[in-house]
Structure 1
Amino acid sequence: MPEDILMIEDDARLAAMVQEYLSDFGFTVTIAGTGKGGLAKIRAGQFRALILDLMLPDMDGFEVFRAIPIEASLPVIMLTAKGDPLDRIIGLELGADDYLPKPFEPRELLARLKSILRRGVHLAGSDVLSFGRLTIDEDAMQARLDDQRCRLTNYQFQILVALAKGAGRVMTRDHLMNQLQGHDIETFDRSIDVHVSRIRNVIEADPKNPKRLITVRGAGYVFAKSQD
């Protein structure tokens, strides 16, 4: 079965070379020459991975990365001709899966692409809760946002797991306390509010306007399956 890859790259010759090379290994590569065009293709279709150039004619590659819909959950390899180590640091901190400076050997791009796709297959086959760019691995006791590990205490992680397992349903504080029995729970249910606030600081783009972990006044909390 072909693996659909999107490449956002304004160098037509380079894009055509990558497209031809990867096709020999079972990949179908769709090309977009601008950031806006690439984002439109992401919204319209389904891709297994994204190869993203940082220097585009209409918008910065980092802007494109930030604008990718969270539901797409695309592994991303960033390309740049700048050769600036800061670009790599920024890209990886934003959540890019890999980074490749130009010029590069097509064989190296292929190896890196296969590597990030193998990671995705492993996640899909394991007992991991996945919500867009947020993944929660209960066995490993890790939550990751854009493949960056979230810094949560054990208690906060258990609250997040309980809410995520009940995604779409309102959970009262009492229900959460019952769910967390045996996990060194604290005495007062209002401590739940404090921890939920700290979880939001880690997983929400705007903790003051949460889209994932929502308060239902007079009832409790709901973990949204999808975001607006």
Structure 2
Amino acid sequence: MAEILMIEDDLELAEILSEYLQKNNYNVTIIDDPYLGLSTLNTNKFDLVILDLTLPGLDGLQLCKEIRKNNNIPIIISSARHDITDKVNALENGADDYMPKPYNPQELLARIRSHLRRESIKIERETPQNSDFEVKDFEHEILFKGKALSLTVAEYDILKYLINKQGGAVSREELIYNCESINEDTTNKSIDVIIGRIRAKIGENPKAPRYIHAIRGIGYKLVF
């Protein structure tokens, strides 16, 4: 499940958007203070930021600029300010999108999906060249140390997702909701079984793993 940080001081609107996004399998953290929002982003893992411009204590344009200094996360501006100058400044200060309020939550959902899809493609293209793993999408195979692994569709999707996360921790729920071949009714235990099969196929000792590490209380990460 993708993690979204919403920095918005209109808590009624934030709750409405959050409920809608959560129904569509997105986890939303709402922060109404810009400084706390920046701190939360720097200390937690998020996939996308929804940012209001009119915030107490710090203008959203400046906050957008501060976020972009150290983070390449997609930023969608959600603002009642319709002036073209604000739109231009937001984009020039690092925003990826600008949505004037009011808008339909369906449009916000579509834009979130679009940005996360592009981010996923970018991550895939940036897979480290010195990795022992290589994803070959056209052939629908994954090479391990230059040799193609014999994987089921579910094993392929999970291993590819772990590779594309480039060492980031991935929850079992995130794997269930983001791997097309995995049924949404799949249990966490089933994910553990599939991970075990992948480990066996790369000759990994689960008690002393070199590549796929279990993260207590979260899920797994793949270390290159």
TM value normalised by structure 1: 0.54
Segments of 5+ residues of structure 2 without an aligned counterpart are 129-224
Q: Residue type of the partner of 2:26?
A: F
Match of 2:50?
51
Match of 2:39?
40
Change in Cα spacing, 1:97 to 1:17, as seen in structure 2 (3 Å) is: same
Q: Residue type of the partner of 1:91?
A: A
CA separation in 1, counterparts of 2:82 and 2:113?
A: 23
CA separation in 2, counterparts of 1:70 and 1:89?
A: 18
Change in Cα spacing, 1:126 to 1:63, as seen in structure 2 (3 Å) is: same
> Is the CA contact (8 Å cut-off) linking 2:65 and 2:94 kept in structure 1?
no
CA separation in 2, counterparts of 1:12 and 1:127?
A: 37
> Is the CA contact (8 Å cut-off) linking 2:3 and 2:27 kept in structure 1?
yes
CA separation in 1, counterparts of 2:56 and 2:69?
A: 24
| Displaced runs of 4 or more, over 6 A | none
Give the % identical residues. Answer: 41
Deviation at 1:128, TM superposition (A): 7.0
> Any idea what the Cα deviations from partners look like across 1:195-219, whole Å, max 9, x if unmatched?
xxxxxxxxxxxxxxxxxxxxxxxxx
Match of 2:82?
83
Q: Residue type of the partner of 2:4?
A: I
> Is the CA contact (8 Å cut-off) linking 2:49 and 2:75 kept in structure 1?
yes
Deviation at 1:127, TM superposition (A): 4.5
Deviation at 1:95, TM superposition (A): 2.2
CA separation in 1, counterparts of 2:40 and 2:126?
A: 30
> Is the CA contact (8 Å cut-off) linking 1:42 and 1:72 kept in structure 2?
no
Segments of 5+ residues of structure 1 without an aligned counterpart are 130-228
Q: Secondary structure at the match of 1:68?
A: helix
> Is the CA contact (8 Å cut-off) linking 1:7 and 1:52 kept in structure 2?
yes
> Any idea what the Cα deviations from partners look like across 1:137-194, whole Å, max 9, x if unmatched?
xxxxxxxxxxxxxxxxxxxxxxxxxxxxxxxxxxxxxxxxxxxxxxxxxxxxxxxxxx
What is the aligned length?
128
CA separation in 2, counterparts of 1:31 and 1:127?
A: 30
CA separation in 1, counterparts of 2:70 and 2:52?
A: 21
> Is the CA contact (8 Å cut-off) linking 2:68 and 2:94 kept in structure 1?
no
Q: Secondary structure at the match of 1:89?
A: helix
CA separation in 2, counterparts of 1:71 and 1:39?
A: 11
Match of 1:117?
116
TM value normalised by structure 2: 0.55
Change in Cα spacing, 1:127 to 1:42, as seen in structure 2 (3 Å) is: closer
Match of 1:101?
100
> Is the CA contact (8 Å cut-off) linking 1:43 and 1:69 kept in structure 2?
no
Q: Secondary structure at the match of 1:59?
A: coil
Q: Secondary structure at the match of 1:46?
A: coil
CA separation in 1, counterparts of 2:110 and 2:103?
A: 12
> Is the CA contact (8 Å cut-off) linking 2:7 and 2:34 kept in structure 1?
yes
Match of 2:6?
7
Change in Cα spacing, 1:42 to 1:127, as seen in structure 2 (3 Å) is: closer
Match of 1:18?
17
CA separation in 2, counterparts of 1:99 and 1:71?
A: 21
> Is the CA contact (8 Å cut-off) linking 1:79 and 1:102 kept in structure 2?
yes
> Is the CA contact (8 Å cut-off) linking 2:52 and 2:77 kept in structure 1?
yes
Change in Cα spacing, 1:28 to 1:127, as seen in structure 2 (3 Å) is: closer
> Any idea what the Cα deviations from partners look like across 1:44-69, whole Å, max 9, x if unmatched?
10100000000001110011112126
CA separation in 1, counterparts of 2:26 and 2:55?
A: 23
List aligned pairs for 1:1-228, cutoff 5 A.
Answer: 2-68=1-67, 70-127=69-126
**TM-align CA RMSD:** 1.5
> Is the CA contact (8 Å cut-off) linking 1:8 and 1:32 kept in structure 2?
yes
